[in-house]
Amino acid sequence: MFPQDSKILVVEDSESLLRLIGEILNAEGYGNVHLAKDGSEAIGQLTMAAKVGEPFNLVITDITMPNLGGMELLDACRESNNLKNTPFMMITSDNSKNTVVQAVIKGVIGYIVKPIEREDFMNKMREAYERLMGSVG
């Protein structure tokens, strides 16, 4: 499981879902959770965090959002020297094979299908962390 002092950025355009994920993470002991309403806001937070030497340990993002969606956010991070190794988990209501394959090809470590339930969400985080540690170690 991701260490509880992990710096996590949650990106979701649905305010109620954004709040729910933040509450789940806080209830599980994660105290360094940041929220963004779309990919544009997220890229600003990611860039600033990297610039001050305090990068995010994980980004959990919805795929479909206005302005800058999750895949576009992922692409922007992969093209940035400072952000290219940032671990990503995707949230979506679209679990079609094409979407999943595209996300995996781009290095996404986890995939959560809506609706989100606490136990399933935390299991997906655990699996993502194990996947990340397997690729690093």
**What CATH number labels 8-136?**
3.40.50.2300
Identity of the residue numbered 37 = K
110-113 sheet: strands from edge to edge: 33-36, 8-11, 58-62, 88-92, 110-113
Task: Provide the residue ranges of all domains of the chain, joining segments of one domain with +.
Answer: 8-136
- Quick check: pTM over 0.85? yes
What pLDDT digit, counting tens, does each position of 26-70 carry?
999 999 999 999 999 999 999 999 999 999 999 999 999 998 999
The pLDDT-based confidence of 103 (bands split at 50, 70, 90) is confident
Residues composing the chain: 137
Inform me whether the pLDDT recorded for 137 exceeds 70: no
The pLDDT-based confidence of 96 (bands split at 50, 70, 90) is confident
